[in-house]
């Protein structure tokens, strides 16, 4: 049998590991033909028409690694070697010898064959090579053993035989004291022929076995060597070897042989093992050092990936999982809990009630500090999973009593900035499994309950299916969550200066064409997204689009301010100024190219906080217009103290101002009041020429309406500008 001694195997591995591995070598042809002996188990043999054996598996592995197909042709050994010489086969695995090197090129050895001394059964003396002196020793003619003994041990009397079997028979028939043979073949024959001969020495002279190719095929050799190196480094060689280990190393599996042989050779083997251990230890250390290096690299990569994953999965301020990660973790918790006898959990989504007031009063960073301190408090609680959804809203998944027990501790005074605030929690609760089986369902239902708590001014509400909002509304919010606003587009509605007719600006109106739900009106989805706390994504997208479009217009020499609608959340709960600045920088737009439109109802709710942010924006050169003026809670007093530039009269007054006396006087007095405050006025919703003329007569500064144009796609807006050469119509004069 051919056998890889353990030490030799380690040597082989360390050698090949230390050699360089080509990044990839193209296969020399689609199919590589491997030759072999048809009766050479366990390496290669013809098993009822199917090539089988260690070599066959290894060759298949190499071909796969090298992205080629393997074909196997097994025949008598002389036929096989001849086929290699003539080119009928491409590769043949064989023992490396000087003589063969004259004809063939060899890969590095992929395993080793050793020799051993054989003697008659019952021989107790265990010879070392020197002990052979004076004895008759049978060896194969022209063999490696013959050469070694002739050159190193001239006192040995050699009996030369035609093959391995004859050498063994010489021992069995007392014609020779010993035989010195290659172990794989000898042991195979001893077993097969029931010879009363046994191995009596440890393994000697390991010799390399390798793949041979013709000398004119260095391309094939390079491909083979590369595949072999990769197989050894990526563990494929080891897997193939291990699959055949029992047959490649039969002495380790045949217990009777082990017992008998070990009785004979235990002593020297122990000695050898000790020596081998030393050698093996050194080599193991080399292999271990290289393995450790590779492991360190792998670990560093894994650490970096884990870090990136962590950033993606966690909120940067609080370090708590973001919504998507929270859902993943929560589903795992629920799956584990479902095997319990009476599983019960609850999802609590809650809001820190004062968030807006705190931000308004003490500034954004104080608000952030409070959220962070509260998040730390949550991390110390006995919750299964926690999350921060933004806008002062947190979620926890826990056992049903846990939140109740933690409530007092969570509501304790906060230390941030020494403000001595007591957090007030407004909660919505959904029970599991009663109110939903998945974590996402539970969050949805707990959010519904939270909305009810806020609406009804309650501290805590438990979900009830009757609270469910319209199914389409839920779908819209869910679909938006999925897309994150990436499928939103801006439509542009031109605004003209009534005095000159010049096209001086455009309002960017969000458009959402959903592939299944179709066109969804902003009047429908904007309020839903505001409630769900998702409006900031719309704003960020529209600010970016507006900056991009205005920068491109400026590059063409067109002066056209783009207005973006903003909601109160944008002003109070995001860093709107930095979002705007980033968009301007990204596209090379100017601050004066953008304008904000704020709905008056929002202003009325949060006038103080809004004032601070609007001032900051104004200082940066971005001006604000009050949208839909007249429909909210307008108050002259706050308007006069606001850093705003413009009022936008709502279309409900403008639309029929020509025919409706009451609306005409509302528009008229609004324009007069605005001018008295130093504000300019835009009228929106002008649908005909008479309205345009009437607005001009009242001194309205600008107009936006269907009489000029409906909202247009970017391309159509550009075409509109070109068509009107920047001036809409002189008929407005």
Nearer to ligand C2E, 340 or 523 (CB): 523
- Distance of alpha carbon 34 from alpha carbon 44, whole angstroms: 11
Other CB atoms within 10 Å distance of the CB of residue 499: 13
Query: Which one of 208, 522, 632, 643 is in contact with ligand C2E (CB under 6 A)?
Result: 522
Residues 6 or more apart whose Cβ sits within 8 Å of residue 570: 535, 536, 539, 576
Query: Which one of 63, 158, 526, 626 is in contact with ligand C2E (CB under 6 A)?
Result: 526
- 322 exposure class (CB count in 10 Å sphere: 0-12, 13-18, 19+): middle
- 521 binds ligand C2E, rule: CB under 6 A: yes
Which option in ligand C2E, Mg ion, none does residue 721 bind, with CB closer than 5 to 8 A by kind? none
Nearest in space to 492 (alpha carbons), one of 432, 565, 573, 435: 565
Which residues on neighbouring strands pair with residue 626, listed in sequence order? Answer: 598, 647
Q: Looking at residue 153, what DSSP letter applies?
A: -
Query: Which one of 628, 658, 670, 704 is in contact with Mg ion (CB under 5 A)?
Result: 628
Q: Looking at residue 642, what DSSP letter applies?
A: S
Among positions 171-190, residues that touch ligand C2E (CB under 6 A) are none
- 538 binds ligand C2E, rule: CB under 6 A: yes
Region from 205-213, 364-372, 534-542, 561-569 binding Mg ion, contact rule CB under 5 A? 561-569
Nearest in space to 399 (alpha carbons), one of 460, 333, 339: 333
Nearer to ligand C2E, 356 or 600 (CB): 600
Nearer to ligand C2E, 428 or 685 (CB): 685
Residue 562 corresponds to which tokens in the numbers above?
Answer: 């783009």
Residue 259 corresponds to which tokens in the numbers above?
Answer: 């017992």
Smallest gap, in angstroms, from Cβ of residue 584 to Mg ion?
Answer: 20
110 and 15 in contact (C-beta within 8 Å)? no
Residues 6 or more apart whose Cβ sits within 8 Å of residue 400: 344, 345, 346, 431
- 542 binds ligand C2E, rule: CB under 6 A: yes
Smallest gap, in angstroms, from Cβ of residue 562 to ligand C2E?
Answer: 11
Q: What is the DSSP string of 406-473?
A: HHHHHTSPP-GGG--PPP-EEEEEEEETTT-SSHHHHHHHHHHHHHHHHHHT-SEEE--GGG---HHH
Region from 276-284, 371-379, 534-542, 612-620 binding ligand C2E, contact rule CB under 6 A? 534-542
Which option in ligand C2E, Mg ion, none does residue 522 bind, with CB closer than 5 to 8 A by kind? ligand C2E
- Distance of alpha carbon 141 from alpha carbon 106, whole angstroms: 24
Smallest gap, in angstroms, from Cβ of residue 669 to ligand C2E?
Answer: 20
Q: Looking at residue 320, what DSSP letter applies?
A: P
- Distance of alpha carbon 672 from alpha carbon 698, whole angstroms: 8
235 dihedral zone (left: phi>0; alpha: psi -120 to 50; beta): left
Smallest gap, in angstroms, from Cβ of residue 351 to ligand C2E?
Answer: 21
Query: Which one of 63, 264, 385, 567 is in contact with ligand C2E (CB under 6 A)?
Result: 567
- 544 binds Mg ion, rule: CB under 5 A: no
Region from 143-151, 409-417, 519-527, 664-672 binding ligand C2E, contact rule CB under 6 A? 519-527
Binding mask 24-63 for ligand C2E (x = CB under 6 A): ----------------------------------------
Nearer to Mg ion, 227 or 701 (CB): 701
Residue 339 corresponds to which tokens in the numbers above?
Answer: 């095997």
Query: Which one of 164, 565, 625, 668 is in contact with ligand C2E (CB under 6 A)?
Result: 565
* Number of alpha carbons in the 13 Å side-chain half-sphere of residue 205: 18
Nearest in space to 594 (alpha carbons), one of 609, 579, 605: 579
Query: Which one of 565, 602, 624, 691 is in contact with Mg ion (CB under 5 A)?
Result: 565
Query: Which one of 57, 593, 627, 646 is in contact with Mg ion (CB under 5 A)?
Result: 627
Smallest gap, in angstroms, from Cβ of residue 641 to ligand C2E?
Answer: 24
- 4 binds ligand C2E, rule: CB under 6 A: no
Smallest gap, in angstroms, from Cβ of residue 625 to Mg ion?
Answer: 8
Smallest gap, in angstroms, from Cβ of residue 456 to ligand C2E?
Answer: 26
Smallest gap, in angstroms, from Cβ of residue 509 to Mg ion?
Answer: 7
570 dihedral zone (left: phi>0; alpha: psi -120 to 50; beta): alpha
Query: Which one of 597, 600, 606, 646 is in contact with Mg ion (CB under 5 A)?
Result: 597
Residue 318 corresponds to which tokens in the numbers above?
Answer: 């609080």
Nearer to Mg ion, 210 or 566 (CB): 566
- 600 binds Mg ion, rule: CB under 5 A: no
Nearest in space to 638 (alpha carbons), one of 595, 605, 680: 605
Binding site for Mg ion (CB under 5 A): 565, 597, 627-628
Binding site for ligand C2E (CB under 6 A): 493, 509-510, 521-523, 526, 535, 538, 542, 565, 567, 597, 627-628, 651, 684-687, 704-706, 711
């Amino acid at each position: 049998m051919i056998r890889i001694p353990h030490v030799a195997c380690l040597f082989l591995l360390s050698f090949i590991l230390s050699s360089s591995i080509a990044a990839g070598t193209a296969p020399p042809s689609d199919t590589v033909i491997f030759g072999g002996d048809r009766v050479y188990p366990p390496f290669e043999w013809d098993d009822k028409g199917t090539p089988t054996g260690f070599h066959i598996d290894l060759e298949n592995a190499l071909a796969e690694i090298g992205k080629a197909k393997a074909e196997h042709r097994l025949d008598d050994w002389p036929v096989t070697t001849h086929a290699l010489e003539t080119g009928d086969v491409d590769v043949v695995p064989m023992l490396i010898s000087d003589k063969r090197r004259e004809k063939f090129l060899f890969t590095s050895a992929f395993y080793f064959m050793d020799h051993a001394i054989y003697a008659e059964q019952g021989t107790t003396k265990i010879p070392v090579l020197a002990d052979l002196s004076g004895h008759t020793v049978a060896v194969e003619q022209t063999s490696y053993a013959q050469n070694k003994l002739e050159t190193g041990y001239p006192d040995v009397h050699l009996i030369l035989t035609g093959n391995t079997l004859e050498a063994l028979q010489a021992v069995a028939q007392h014609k020779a004291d010993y035989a010195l043979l290659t172990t794989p073949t000898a042991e195979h024959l001893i077993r097969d022929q029931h010879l009363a001969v046994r191995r009596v020495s440890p393994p000697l002279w390991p010799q390399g076995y390798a793949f041979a190719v013709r000398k004119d095929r260095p391309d094939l050799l390079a491909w083979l060597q590369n595949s072999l190196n990769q197989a050894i480094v990526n563990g494929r060689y080891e897997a193939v070897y291990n699959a055949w280990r029992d047959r490649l190393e039969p002495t380790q599996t045949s217990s009777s042989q082990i017992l008998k042989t070990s009785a004979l050779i235990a002593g020297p083997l122990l000695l050898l093992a000790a020596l081998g251990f030393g050698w093996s230890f050194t080599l193991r250390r080399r292999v271990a050092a290289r393995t450790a290096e590779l492991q360190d690299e792998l670990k560093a990569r894994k650490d970096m990936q884990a870090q990136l994953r962590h950033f993606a999965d966690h909120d940067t301020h609080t370090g708590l999982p973001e919504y998507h990660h929270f859902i993943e973790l929560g589903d795992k918790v629920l799956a584990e809990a479902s095997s319990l006898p009476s599983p019960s959990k609850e999802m609590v989504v809650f809001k820190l009630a004062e968030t807006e007031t705190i931000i308004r009063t003490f500034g954004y960073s104080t608000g952030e500090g409070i959220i962070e301190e509260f998040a730390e408090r949550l991390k110390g609680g006995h919750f299964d999973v926690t999350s921060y959804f933004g806008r002062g809203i947190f979620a926890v998944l826990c056992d049903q009593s846990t939140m109740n027990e933690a409530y007092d501790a969570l509501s304790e005074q906060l230390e941030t900035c020494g403000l001595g605030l007591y957090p007030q929690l407004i909660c919505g609760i959904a029970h599991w499994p009663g109110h939903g089986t998945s974590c996402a369902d539970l969050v949805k239902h707990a959010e519904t309950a939270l909305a009810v708590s806020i609406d009804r001014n309650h501290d805590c509400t438990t979900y009830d299916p009757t609270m469910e909002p319209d199914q389409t509304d839920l779908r819209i919010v869910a679909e938006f969550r999925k897309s994150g606003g990436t499928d939103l587009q801006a439509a542009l509605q031109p605004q003209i200066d009534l005095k000159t007719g010049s096209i001086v600006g455009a309002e960017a109106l969000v458009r959402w064409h959903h592939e299944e739900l179709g066109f969804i009106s902003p009047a429908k989805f904007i309020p839903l997204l505001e409630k769900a706390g998702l409006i900031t994504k719309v704003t960020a997208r529209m600010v970016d689009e507006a900056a991009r479009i205005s920068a491109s217009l400026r590059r063409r020499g067109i002066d056209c301010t783009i207005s973006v609608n903003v909601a109160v959340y944008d002003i109070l709960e995001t860093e709107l100024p930095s979002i705007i600045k980033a968009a301007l920088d990204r596209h090379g737009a100017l601050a004066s190219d953008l304008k904000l439109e704020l709905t008056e109802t929002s202003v009325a709710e949060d006038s103080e906080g809004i004032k601070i942010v609007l001032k900051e924006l104004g200082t940066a050169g971005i001006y604000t217009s009050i949208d839909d003026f007249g429909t909210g809670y307008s108050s002259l007093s706050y308007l006069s103290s606001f850093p705003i530039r413009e009022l936008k009269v709502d279309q409900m007054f403008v639309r029929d101002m020509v025919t409706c006396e009451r609306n005409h006087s509302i528009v008229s007095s609004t324009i007069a009041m605005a001018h008295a405050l130093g504000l300019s006025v835009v009228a929106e919703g002008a649908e005909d020429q008479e309205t345009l003329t009437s607005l001009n007569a009242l001194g309205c500064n600008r107009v936006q309406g269907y009489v000029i144009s409906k909202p247009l796609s970017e391309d159509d807006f550009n075409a509109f500008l070109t068509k009107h050469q920047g001036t809409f119509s002189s008929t407005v004069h």
